[in-house]
Amino acid sequence: MTFMELAKSRYSVRGFKDTPIEEEKLAAILEAGRIAPTACNNQPQHIYVAKSAEAVAKMRTISPCTYNAPVILAICYDTTVQAANFGEMDASIVCTHMMFEAWEQGIGSCWVGMFNAEELVKAFNLPENIRPVALLPIGYAADGIQPAPLHTAYREYADTITEL
């Protein structure tokens, strides 16, 4: 699959099977995040991997958008490691890398911004210097899951691109 084929075929998966993710697939997803570009290569990202029943259950209480995923990643950054104020951007690139690697492995995901960051910090006792940016529920798409109608509602070329 070319990158363009990967990018065009991916969509947000909002319903998952209980089927666990194979360890080697999860490892590849995390590796794609580990090698993502970051400002000054400071690598301020910290990924919390909820895969035990207890951790997943806690994650489900802090967001309405975990969609029964068997594994939920919380993508965070460390304020003491980021270059300037680039931590959030870095974490976003890391999350994007993982989303595409997951898709290449046949694993669906949905970027989730709708979660309670304070509750996440409290629930997992995260250090003060750790800032959550996104959740990424991942897993095999449940039967019948389709892209949402908005998935292909792309704006026109000229609306978002200006040749200078």
Ligand X SMILES: Cc1cc2nc3c(=O)[nH]c(=O)nc-3n(C[C@H](O)[C@H](O)[C@H](O)COP(=O)(O)O)c2cc1C
Residue ranges of alpha helices (H) inside the chain are: 3-9, 23-34, 53-62, 87-104, 117-123, 157-160
Binding piece for ligand X, criterion CB under 6 A, among 7-15, 35-43, 45-53, 74-82: 7-15
Q: Does residue 147 interact with ligand X by CB under 6 A?
A: yes
For position 151 contacting ligand X by CB under 6 A, the verdict is yes
Interactions with ligand X, residue window 25-54 (CB under 6 A): none
Q: For residue 4, state whether it binds ligand X (rule: CB under 6 A).
A: no
**Of 41, 46, 68, nearest in space to 137 by CA:** 68
Minimum CB separation of residue 107 from ligand X in Å reads: 14
Please state, in angstroms and rounded to a whole number, the distance separating the CA atoms of residues 135 and 110.
8
Task: Pick out residues in 70-99 that bind ligand X (CB under 6 A).
Answer: none
